[in-house]
Structure 1
């Protein structure tokens, strides 16, 4: 089974080499990596060409002008030749066994799409130390239908925003589906929802094999009136003609949340333009926006204050004590503790310390690939490939 890894890139030269390397070292070797450069204007295209010269599985598509992530991903979808499609961002990192394990899980579950957990990491402590699916405390695969998917993206505190997922999708289930070029933020959510509305069977996997880089430059952090209006229009197209009561109710709650976001962004735009009348009118129509404004200011100040800590040296031993590489799917009897908990702890340690790691055995080496950064690594009792900079004891 060939897997097409679809990577849209815009000014990602700083992280692109590491992202591509993580794809090309996958244990599932029958793959192609399609990088669509969205008129970056940096060294991105040259970096991809250098990778192409070394590995024929890499392909480059260059956009003549910047058209946004949806248009870039559509170019990748149209060029893909694989039986499965894997979505990836150009600043993230994959565990080397990710595609092999996800494909095996998808076939065992007879799924059209599977999505693993995502371990967050970044330059600041607040960007690290948790996983996307952590609130679900998964110990077994979890099916997700359209109603649950919408609920999870409606601001509920007990559900993670599943629109951030980077799934592996069966090409035959994807079919003629394309991203909406007008949608530049939330484009993944929109296309995944339409995939589910087509009847695709999606499962969440309890294992985190995707390292998701969080930083202030991410486009997903920049809402605006211009970005939200196309997202609401896309929402309304998907909502038209739905009959399932649970899904209709979920879509209504989602739309109400988007309308609230739009009202807030209009208030912010009016304040920036020093339009006192429009600002006061917006607050009069929605008094709750004052609380949202205070929260936004507080979060902005917190982000400015969130600086990289001075990491201190710390020794860490992984492995031993009967630790095993987890099976592709959990056993019939769910494990006692969600696997994401350990990875979240490792991500937090890596943000706070320069780790000197000793990894003992195959299971520890498997886990080691999800440690975002380290000062040194020594591996004993394992024959698999080592992370860059690792040595054997």
Structure 2
């Protein structure tokens, strides 16, 4: 089974070579690696071209104008020749057996997609901290349903949302659906992509193996983070406006709850920034404008407690 791996890259000279190497070093060798340079301003293009000249499995796509990760992924998916297509962010990595495990899971099944777990680590070379998806059972291959996807998407906890997953999808089925990553979004475009596929009947298997290495960068509280929370809430509303009738009422309820909490997080983020800046008048004004934002404090406190307990267990 040939598998096409899609890597969008923008100004990734520090990590793109390592990402490509993790694809070429797979135990399943029948791969093509489509690397889309999204008009980088650094040495990314030079690195990609050098690597492509040394290995025919690398297909470089060099864009003259920056279109964002959605456009880059869509371009690569359109030219993929593998029976299956999957994804890798330029600053992340694959475990050497990732594709082998995914291919083994779908072989002989009627599934048109498979998703594995993610080893969450600190960028660039931190150790494994935890497995990102709690809905996957270690060592097992089980159905991963639309119901589970939307239920997990609705939760507020320390784990990754399933919208972060990097599924392996059967290419001909994907093309028949006519679904791509939304070009007008820079936040939650992955969620919209997978949610739409599930609404259209994607049959997905969950593989309990940490095949994808997700390297987190330190995040600082900022106004942009609050804006992102609102954008994520808007993305859920956008999906429900189009596909509400194609998902269960349980799924609608889970997504509605998540959307509400994201809006509260957006408001609370502005309050927390004001408090850290000791701008108490602004903080009070924001609280009066959105008193419901304080309802997110218990979930946030719970997440912080879980982190402390995890650190204590490791030490």
* Counterpart secondary structure, 2:207: strand
1:117-164 residue CA offsets vs partner (Å, 9 max, x unmatched): 111222599874211135754342232222321221223449752112
Give the structure-2-normalised TM-score.
Answer: 0.80
Give the Å deviation of 1:222.
Answer: 5.8
Alignment CA distance shift 1:265-1:63 (3 Å):
farther
Q: Tell me how far 1:217 sits from its aligned partner.
A: 6.9
Matching of residues 74-153 of structure 1 within 5 Å: 74-123=74-123, 128-134=128-134, 136-153=136-153
Cα 1:125/1:292, change in 2 over 3 Å: farther
* Partner of residue 210 from structure 1, selected from 193, 209, 212: 212
Give 2:194's aligned residue: 192
Q: Distance in 1 between matches of 2:13 and 2:123?
A: 17
Report the RMSD for the aligned CA atoms in angstroms: 3.8
Deviates more, 1:158-167 or 1:41-50: 158-167
Unaligned runs of 5+ in 1: 301-343, 353-393
Partner residue, 2:227? 225
Q: Larger C-alpha radius of gyration, 1 or 2?
A: 1
Q: Answer 1 or 2: which has greater helix percent.
A: 2
Among residues 244, 260, 264, which one is paired with 2:264 in the alignment? Answer: 260
Aligned residue pairs total 302
Q: 1:80 to 1:248 in 2, by over 3 A?
A: same
Quote the Cα distance in structure 2 between the aligned partners of 1:106 and 1:33: 20
Question: Structure 1 CA distance, aligned partners of 2:229 and 2:91?
Answer: 22
Deviations 1:41-66 (A, max 9, x none): 11111110001110112122233333
1:285-364 equivalence runs, <5 A: 285-290=289-294
Distance in 1 (CA, whole Å) between partners of 2:279 and 2:79 is 47
Alpha-carbon deviation of 1:241? 2.9
Contact 2:229–2:266 (8 Å) recurs in 1: no
Is the contact made by 2:37 and 2:60 (CA closer than 8 Å) also made in structure 1? yes
> C-alpha distance in 2, partners of 1:34/1:125?
24
SS at 1:142 equivalent: strand
Structure 1 112/213 Cα, relative in aligned 2: closer, same or farther at 3 Å? Answer: same
C-alpha deviation, 1:80, in angstroms: 1.4
Q: TM-score normalised to the size of structure 1? A: 0.65
